[in-house]
Amino acid sequence: MTPAAALNHMITLRQKLAAAPALARVLPFAIFLALTGCQGKFFAGSEYWFYLAKTVVGAWLIWQIRPLVAEMRWKISWAAVAVGVAVFAVWVGLDAFYPKLGRAGAAWNPHLQFGENSALAWLFILTRLVGSALIVPPLEEVFYRSYVYRALAGRDFQSVPLNHFAWLPFLVTAAVFGFSHYEWLAGILCAFAYQGLVLRQNRLGDAIAAHAITNLLLGLWIVWKHDWHFW
């Protein structure tokens, strides 16, 4: 494909996303999720290379939808920091006290795959930190908190204010988010906290920032304590 053809495809994609607000919030997450499903399915160590690929693709997708999703703006606030730190503490603190969902996959430990303290090992650790802290939060928060919650609350999701509370969307969105994680209970509590932050602040940016803080702290904890099972 020539550069001109690639540019035309990009312009066409953005036009389609601009014309379909729901698609702009769902498609990037779906692509990211599909690449996640490819991790470890092709060859030994493919999970690391696919994570690198999906991080790059995820960054590109965020760049594409950023002008189209007005609420996808980071907002650092004391509430976001407090929630982000609290969710990290809950995620780690509850880990030993409830049964997990399904069976755990192989622990993500690049040191075992590529050699202790090798350049590749640290490349993939850094990639995971960047991906989980900068790419995952906006994609997931836009999908769950901006789209799923509001789509359950009203037929025209864009007409539903971000601070509109309804029990069914609140519980269903938290359940879907929670049960998409191996650590399902922590995931549900995490979803309650992030959704509560959106409702309280009437914007998505605080939840994106809180999610990023949680994931960054968890990643640093994993590397520091060698608790690779969290990844």
Q: State how far the Cα of 151 lies from the Cα of 214, in Å rounded to an integer.
A: 26
The span from the CA of 169 to the CA of 85, in Å, is 25
According to the model, what pLDDT value does residue 7 have?
60
Burial (CB < 10 A; 0-12, 13-18, 19+), residue 132, is buried
Residue 197: per-residue pLDDT: 98
The answer to whether residues 194 and 145 touch, using CB atoms and an 8 Å cutoff, is yes
Length in residues, the chain: 231
Q: Averaged in consecutive runs of 10 residues, what is the pLDDT profile of the chain (231 residues)?
A: 64 82 96 93 90 96 94 96 98 95 77 93 97 98 98 95 97 97 96 98 98 98 95 90
Q: What is the pLDDT of residue 134?
A: 98
The model's pTM is: 0.93
* Helix 119-130, helix 205-225: angle, nearest 10: 150
